[in-house]
A and B are shown apart, each in its own frame.
Chain A
Amino acid sequence: MSVGFVDEEQDPDVRFVRGAGRYVDDIKLEGMQHLYVVRSPYARARVLSVKGGITGDELKATMESVGEDAGGRSTVSFPVLSASYVSYVGQPVAAVLGGDKYEAADKAEEVDVQYEPLKPVMDPERSLESEPIHPGTESNLVAAAELGKDFELKAPVEVDETLRMERIAPNPMETKGMVASYDGSLLTVYASTQSPFSWREGLAGSLGLKEESVRVVQMDTGGGFGSKGGIYPEYVVAAYAAMKTKRPVKWSESRYENLLATNMGRGVRGRMKVYADRKGKLKGLKADLLVDVGAYPLGGGAWTAKWIASQLVGPYAVPKAYATAKAVLTNKVNMGPYRGAGRPEAAFFMERMMDRIADETGVDAAEVRLRNATTRRTISPLGMEAPPSRRFFMEALRAFKYSSRKKKEKVGLSFFMLIPAAYGGESAKLAVKGGRVKVWMGGSSHGQRHDVFAKKLVSEELGVPQDVIDFQHTDTAAISGGVGSWGSRTAILGGGALVEASRSLKAAAKKELGKGYSPARILEGDYEAEAFFKPKDMLNTLGANLATARLTKEGNAVVEEVLSFYDAGKVLNQFMLESQVTGGVAQGVGEVMYERAVYSEDGQLLTASIADAGVIHATEMPKSVVMTAAHRSTLPHGAKGVGESPTIGVPPAATRALEVLLGRRFTTLPIEPEKLWALDVSDGGRTR
Chain B
Amino acid sequence: MTQAHHVVVEVNGVKREADVEPRLLLVHFLRENLGLTGSHIGCDTTSCGACTVLLDGKAVKSCTVLAVQADGRKVTTIEGLGADGKLDRVQEGFVAKHGLQCGFCTPGMVISAYALLQENPDPTEEEIKTAISGNICRCTGYESIIESVKHAAKAGRRRKAPSRPSRRRS
Contact = CB atoms under 8 A, between A and B. Distances in A.
Contacts of A576: 98
Interface in B101-153: 101-107, 110, 128-130, 132-133, 135-146
Interface of B is mostly: loop
Interface stretch (B31-39, B54-62, B156-164): B31-39
Contacts of A634: none
Contacts of B104: 21, 23, 172-174, 222-223, 447
Given A18-B91, A26-B37, A619 B45 contact: no
Given A618-B145, A619-B130, A223 B139 contact: yes
Contacts of A586: 138, 140-142
A273 interface: no
A583 B101 contact: yes
Contact of B100 (A13, A102, A615): A13
Contacts of B40: 23, 25, 173-174, 222
Interface centre among A28, A446, A576, A610 (most CB of B within 10 A): A610
Interface in A96-146: 100-102
A334 interface: no
A615 to B, nearest CB: 5
B18 interface: no
B87 A17 contact: yes
Contacts of B35: 28
A585 interface: yes
Contacts of B82: 18
A256 interface: yes
Nearest to B43: A255
A219 to B, nearest CB: 11
B70 interface: no
B14 interface: no
B78 interface: yes
A173 B137 contact: yes
Contact of B106 (A17, A585, A624): A17
Given A18-B91, A102-B21, A255-B45, A575 B98 contact: yes
Given A16-B103, A23-B40, A610 B45 contact: yes
Contacts, number: 174
Contact of A19 (B47, B77, B133, B138): B77
A18 B37 contact: no
A221 B129 CA distance: 26
Interface of A is mostly: loop
B23 interface: yes
Interface centre among A14, A19, A100, A583 (most CB of B within 10 A): A19
B50 interface: yes
Nearest to B21: A102
Contacts of A101: 28
A220 B82 CA distance: 23
A181 interface: no
B12 to A, nearest CB: 11
A519 interface: no
Contact of A255 (B42, B94, B139): B42
Nearest to B92: A17
Interface in A142-185: 171-175
A49 interface: no
A446 B103 CA distance: 9
A480 interface: no
A23 B146 CA distance: 25
A619 B124 CA distance: 13
Interface in A627-660: none
Contact of B101 (A256, A448, A611, A617): A448
B96 to A, nearest CB: 9
A19 B37 contact: yes
Contacts of B4: none
B46 to A, nearest CB: 9
A52 interface: no
B41 interface: yes
B44 interface: yes
A175 B63 CA distance: 15
Given A172-B104, A610-B42, 4 more contacts: A19-B79, A579-B101, A579-B141, A585-B141
Interface of A: 11-23, 25-26, 28, 100-102, 171-175, 220-223, 225, 254-256, 446-449, 575-576, 579-580, 582-587, 609-611, 615, 617-619, 621, 624
17 contacts: A11-B95, A13-B95, A16-B106, A17-B94, A17-B95, A19-B37, A19-B77, A19-B78, A101-B28, A102-B24, A173-B42, A173-B138, A174-B40, A446-B102, A447-B104, A580-B101, A621-B143
